[in-house]
Amino acid sequence: MTKRYPIAAKYRAILYHVFLQSGFLSEAKHLLPSLPRSVQLESTALLSLAEESYPEAIEQYSTLLYTTLVDPEHTHRLALTYASNLALAHMYTANVQTAISTLEPQLREPQNSKGTLPHAVYNLCTMYEIRDDQARGRKEGIMEVVVARYGDVCGKGHFKLDSLR
Quick: pLDDT tens for 31-61: 999 898 888 999 999 999 999 999 999 999 9
- In terms of domains, do 66 and 4 share one? no
User: Structure pTM?
Assistant: 0.83
Question: Based on the structure, what is the number of domains in the chain?
Answer: 2
| DSSP alpha helix (H) spans, 23-108 | 25-31, 40-50, 54-70, 79-92, 96-107
CATH number of the domain to which 113 belongs: 1.25.40.10
Does residue 146 sit in helix, strand or coil?
helix
For residues 59 and 30, state if they share a domain. no
Determine the pLDDT at residue 108. Answer: 82
pLDDT in tens, 73-99: 556 668 889 999 999 999 999 999 999
Exposed / middle / buried, residue 77 (Cβ in 10 Å: 0-12, 13-18, 19+): middle
Which structural domain range is residue 23 located in? 1-35
Nearest-angstrom CA–CA distance, 42 and 38: 8
Report pLDDT digits (tens) over 135-156: 888 888 888 888 888 877 887 7
Q: Are residues 12 and 56 in the same domain?
A: no
pLDDT of amino acid 165: 44
Percent of the chain with pLDDT strictly greater than 90: 45
Contact 143, 117 (CB under 8 A): no
**Long-range contacts, 160-163 (Cβ 8 Å, 24+):** 160/122, 160/125, 160/126, 160/129, 161/136
Q: Is 70 a residue whose pLDDT tops 60? A: yes
Measure Cα distances from 4 to 1, 8, 13, 71 in Å.
5, 9, 15, 36
What is the distance between the alpha carbons of residues 158 and 76, in angstroms, rounded to a whole number? 23
Report how far apart the first and last C-alpha atoms of the chain are (Å, whole number): 43
Report the share of the chain in percent with pLDDT over 70.
87
